[in-house]
A = this chain, B = another copy of it.
Amino acid sequence: MKSMKTEVPVLSRRKPADYAESAYRRLCDAILEGRLMPGTPLSRRVLAAEFGMSTVPVGEALLRLEAEGLVESRPRAGSRVRIPTASEIQGNYELREALETHSARLFAERATDADRKALVAAAEKLDAMFDELKRKPYSAARHAQAERKHMRFHMLIAGAGRCVELENAIERSRVLLFNWLFTMSAEFGELPGGWHGTLARKLVGGSPREAAEAMRVHVRYRKDEVIERLSELAGPETARMARGPQRHRNGGSRK
């Protein structure tokens, strides 16, 4: 409607510094890699000094991490890496089931032949990796890498559904669960042989409903066991941070 001058090219994408983004990345990575364990206090000032910036961008990073559920903060008394409660873990499992089953359904409906081929190939490689993992002694690095590959496998399924919103939601729920899983070390890489191969075949060959149900059993596998183990590490249900829930509760419609 207005001016229609020479369409500007898309060449502006650099970040002159973006301290906030940098701080966010460093903190997020540190939490996800387990270097910052749940409960670790996060002071804006010490982080600012450590990162060589002021407290403002650090605060922005903490705000984003809080919105994502990785950090909790009390109004004027500090932030820390979030300690999940047992019910939160259970809730995230529920969320994951809802999202992944729908993702599988979309895969069965929309995946191209290339998608399906890629999936079975990825499944075979993943199963081989888990087999190998079973033989070797436990190693945090190997375990973490396995989790990353597992994540990519599920994101491959989600990607074939052609729905970014669903992809993002799945990634978020997985991140939340696996950040917590991270704290518990070994013995959870052991899966039945060909576990992902059979799943992939059902997704590729089955109807949407069959695909969804196959994914449901996949997601629920060992669910109770994992929840129980995680709940031990989790903070007690009440009084998680001594004084009620974190601020900025809801995030949608009020009134």
Interface set of A (CB-CB < 8 Å, partner B): 8, 10, 12-13, 15, 18, 21, 25, 28-29, 32, 60, 63-64, 67-68, 75, 87-88, 90-92, 94-95, 97-99, 101-103, 106, 148, 151, 161, 163-166, 168-169, 171-172, 174-175, 242-244, 247-248, 250-255
Contacts and interface: CB of A to CB of B under 8 A. Distances in A.
10 contacts: A10-B244, A25-B254, A32-B253, A91-B164, A92-B165, A94-B102, A94-B106, A98-B101, A168-B252, A172-B252
Given A64-B63, A251-B172, A255-B29, A243 B12 contact: yes
For the residues of A in contact with B, the DSSP-based class is helix
Contacts of A67: 64, 67-68
Nearest to A94: B163
Contacts of A172: 251-252
Contacts of A21: 247-248
A105 to B, nearest CB: 8
Contact of A168 (B28, B87, B250): B250
A91 B163 contact: yes
A237 B207 CA distance: 31
Q: Which 10 A-B pairs have the closest CB atoms?
A: A98-B102, A91-B165, A175-B252, A67-B67, A171-B252, A94-B163, A91-B163, A95-B165, A175-B253, A98-B98
B75 A169 contact: no
A64 B98 contact: no
A227 to B, nearest CB: 13
Nearest to A33: B255
A100 to B, nearest CB: 9
Contacts of A247: 21
Nearest to A164: B91
A97 to B, nearest CB: 6
Nearest to A178: B253
Contacts of A75: 15, 18
Contacts of A244: 10, 12-13
A8 B97 contact: no
Nearest to A172: B252
A92 B169 CA distance: 11
B8 A243 contact: yes
